A and B are shown apart, each in its own frame.
Chain A
Amino acid sequence: GENVEQHPSTLSVQEGDSAVIKCTYSDSASNYFPWYKQELGKGPQLIIDIRSNVGEKKDQRIAVTLNKTAKHFSLHITETQPEDSAVYFCAASMRGSGNTGKLIFGQGTTLQVKP
């Protein structure tokens, strides 16, 4: 069945360092890959997404890369700040006919940025 594996489960970095979170998906028909940030007591917040026709996308300190052949995608955060501390989720979906588009989530990565 559809599955998304996410690693690592926890990540601790020093402020200013980079953080990388990796995900692997199983369904080769997946064509949309969002990343969400979830802070304590809040709902997931979309931070960046990429579609299967693009290999890389960047938004300020955040970038996502996609390798369709290997079915891998990764989140890169540069110059990390304490406010980046949160749980990050990757997801994959395949938008089907009739506007269907369920997200299959990875298990989450708890990122801690130490000042």
Chain B
Amino acid sequence: DSGVTQTPKHLITATGQRVTLRCSPRSGDLSVYWYQQSLDQGLQFLIQYYNGEERAKGNILERFSAQQFPDLHSELNLSSLELGDSALYFCASSAAGTDTQYFGPGTRLTVL
């Protein structure tokens, strides 16, 4: 167990809908990262937050957004969902000043 929690574990929704994925980092970790894992694209970095502020952005779609709250948990919002958004979404966290990222168990999103 990495100490990173993600909810829900599974999410099934329809095209055009909006969903919110939630992540709680390890105790004391200030950085939260979001990654998408799909069969054709592999593991891709989406966005990073550090202590509530956006710090780095990957190839995140404009339909996707994220935020990190004062209690350091983070949410990834996916809107106008398309079939191609079906994937595993992972959250990772790291402590300030360190490189090591610990991954959560992921949320499997299925868009029908």
Contact = CB atoms under 8 A, between A and B. Distances in A.
Contacts of A34: 99-101
Contacts of A89: 43
Interface residues of B, number: 28
Given A102-B56, A102-B58, A105-B43, A45 B31 contact: no
B105 A101 contact: no
B103 A101 contact: no
A44 B43 contact: yes
Nearest to A98: B55
Nearest to A1: B59
Given A42-B105, A43-B105, A44-B90, A100 B99 contact: no
Given A34-B101, A43-B105, A46-B101, A101 B48 contact: yes
Contact-residue size bin, chain A (C-beta under 8 Å from the other chain): 20 to 34
B43 A101 contact: no
Contact of A49 (B97, B99, B103): B99
B42 A105 contact: yes
Interface of A: 32, 34, 36, 42-46, 49, 51, 89, 91, 93, 95-96, 98-108
Interface of B: 2, 4, 30-31, 33, 35, 42-45, 48, 50, 55-56, 58, 90, 92, 94, 96-97, 99-106
